Amino acid sequence: MIREVLDAFERRDIDAVLARAHPDVEFVAVTGQEVGHGPYLGHAGLRQYFSDESEHWDELRISVRELHPAGEDIVATGRVWARSGNRLVDSSAGWIWRVEEGRVRYGRVFRSAAAALEAAGLAP
């Protein structure tokens, strides 16, 4: 399910993301930090994220390499490639996800895979 959610984020498929998101989802994204938004809350918050993301980035691609269980959470690690005008980001990335009642209840994006693993207590 987490791979499906991340694939939907990459496709910018808001309907697919909302179908897998709990109504009270909390999503903390690097894009939100860059545009001055705190956590995106609920389905309206996810819609706002997609609006912010499309205004902030010309292109955004993510790839997941590994999933790691971490108690109630799942840590995904991979890469992010993004372009906005002349600015290019190509780096490792990490996400922490929590699923409740079969839907994503919490998601957080980290600027590196190592930061996500450390936040989840999985750092070596």
Instruction: Summarize pLDDT for 75-89 with one digit per residue, the tens.
Output: 999 999 999 889 999
Beta bridge partners of 91: 80
Q: Which domains does the chain have, with CATH numbers?
A: 2-118 (3.10.450.50)
What residue type is 74 in one-letter code?
I
* Torsion angle of the four alpha carbons 102, 107, 113, 118, in this order, in degrees rounded to the nearest 10: -100
- CB-based contacts of 90, cutoff 8 Å, min separation 6: 79, 80, 81
Mean pLDDT (the chain, rounded): 93
pLDDT, tens digit, 9 for 90 and up, residues 12-44: 999 999 999 999 999 999 888 888 888 999 999
Dihedrals φ, ψ of 55, to 5°? -80, -30
pLDDT value of position 33? 82
The whole-number average pLDDT for the span 112-123 is 94
Residues counted in the chain: 124
Whether the per-residue pLDDT at 121 is higher than 80: the answer is yes
